[in-house]
Amino acid sequence: MTKASRTNPATDGSEAFFEHWAIYRKIIKFNYMGHDQIAASLAEHLSRRKTISGQEKVGAILDLGCGDAEVPSRYLPGLGAVEYHGVDLAKKPLEFAREKLSGFSGEVHFHLQDQAQFLAGLDRSFDLIIFGFALHHNTLAEKATVVANAARCLNEGGALVVYDVFRQPNETRQAFFGRYLDWIRRDWRQMTAREQMLIDGHIRANDHPDTVADLQACAHRAGLGAGELQLSTCQDFHQLLQFPVPG
């Protein structure tokens, strides 16, 4: 869940990390960003893909911005002998991820690296590449490059899956901030005043949400199929889309 190419509290001092980590765990506990629905949707989607690339199993999954593996820890147990690779820029969440997936029967690998750099240097392919809240810290031009590199690394019959924050059509970045932060202040009731302040500052400084159409255009230019909406949650701020490899 941590993002590359912007200020990342998880790579700063320990005090900053643990303060931001406490916020993240509250978000998970109270399902403020829809992680419960996202994990359930992915589990259902993956259960239907047990013959990816003609194999009698789900094949190789690349999870970019995996954080502490909160979401994959919920869908991986039902998949059997899958090969899972998680990439994140922050060391401490990856330590938590290793613990969380220590009992998983499949093959698990973690990579401490910027997601864009990892993809740019990747010389193998995957059946499924997932960006989980991992793109909205990037500009649209950066998203286009990352999506193109991801498309290059997908097997025949594979898919790119993105769950993230999106603006509405014709909505400016500042107008989005107004709606999104109003919703957070209103509905994230377990957050303290300081936590709300930190969230507000982080979003305004780092977030570059684009529209679904923007991401679909990036995927189209990369040679992927039309984005299929799998889930819309949290008052439509957060959406999960699948971009298949045409075949």
> Mean pLDDT, consecutive 10-residue segments, the chain of 247 residues?
44 70 96 97 82 59 96 90 93 95 92 95 95 96 97 94 97 98 98 96 96 97 94 96 93
Coil, helix or strand at residue 162: strand
Q: Is residue 111 part of a domain?
A: yes
Q: Is residue 59 part of a domain?
A: yes
Q: Classify residue 245 as exposed, middle or buried by CB count within 10 Å of its CB (0-12, 13-18, 19+).
A: middle
Q: Is residue 4 part of a domain?
A: no
Range of the domain at 121: 9-244
Q: Is residue 86 part of a domain?
A: yes
pLDDT score for 55: 53
Coil, helix or strand at residue 224: coil
Q: Is residue 199 part of a domain?
A: yes
* Cα-based angle 205, 208, 212 (whole degrees, multiple of 5): 160
Is residue 106 within 8 Å of 79, Cβ to Cβ? yes
Residue listed under structure tokens 């930190």? 198
pLDDT score for 216: 97
Q: Is the pTM of this model over 0.85?
A: yes
Q: Is residue 2 part of a domain?
A: no
Q: Is residue 3 part of a domain?
A: no
Q: Total structural domains in the chain?
A: 1
Provide the strand spans (E) within 20-99.
Answer: 60-64, 83-88
* Cα-based angle 208, 210, 214 (whole degrees, multiple of 5): 145
Q: Classify residue 72 as exposed, middle or buried by CB count within 10 Å of its CB (0-12, 13-18, 19+).
A: buried
Q: Is residue 226 part of a domain?
A: yes
pLDDT score for 18: 78
CATH of the domain at 44: 3.40.50.150
Distance of CA 130 to the CA centre of its chain: 6
Measure Cα distances from 11 to 16, 164, 204 in Å: 9, 22, 19
